[in-house]
Amino acid sequence: MAASSTITHLVVPGTFDPVTYGHIDVISRALKICPRVTVGVALSRGKHGNGTMFTLQERVDLVKQALEEANVREGVDVKPLTGLLVDFCHEVGAGGVVKGLRAITDFEYELQQASLNSRLAPDIESIFVMSSPEYGYVSSSIVRELASFGSDVDLLVPPSVSCALKEHFAQAR
């Protein structure tokens, strides 16, 4: 067995439609594991059978703004992810992927993805972090649903995201 090298760069992938405080928590925790993190904002043409609410560029911009607002700057980069995750990891030079888990259903899905990624690229490690208790119930779909009814989502998302949601649903009405 070959000696393994230390991972110095991780990818935190996701659709981030929209980015939430839960996502920022996972990104921050990935930075505690590794000095360099690339956030891969996935194109996700058909998430759950219906595209994304925000465009890919809007989501990239919102993630950048949200990280800035959360004072998460050092060692993090945000890029669009339009192909396979393992190819993206190789392109940016990352040795692993960090995914946040909220519930057992997340684990089942992420385990399947990690197993597939391991077959496609055995050199890319999968790392799972459990959701912090204060964010275990937060998901982008819940945020979108609440915002669509005009509910206040300020405790769930950074100010720039809250503003973007209000603008989006004001235009939809």
Taking only the tens place, the pLDDT of each residue in 15-51 is 999 999 999 999 999 999 999 999 999 998 765 557 8
Encoding tokens for residue 72? 């998460």
Q: How many CB atoms lie within 10 A of CB 90?
A: 14
Question: What residue ranges in the chain does DSSP mark as E strands?
Answer: 9-14, 36-42, 76-81, 96-101, 125-130
Q: Is residue 107 predicted with pLDDT exceeding 50?
A: yes
**Domains of the chain, first to last:** 9-172 (3.40.50.620)
Quick check: is 102 catalytic? Answer: yes
Quick check: is 32 catalytic? Answer: no
Quick check: is 47 catalytic? Answer: yes
Q: Catalytic one among 9, 28, 44, 47?
A: 47
27 near 67, Cβ under 8 Å?
yes
Half-sphere exposure at residue 146, Cβ-oriented, CA atoms within 13 angstroms: 16
- pLDDT on residue 49: 56
Query: Is the pTM value of this prediction over 0.75?
Result: yes
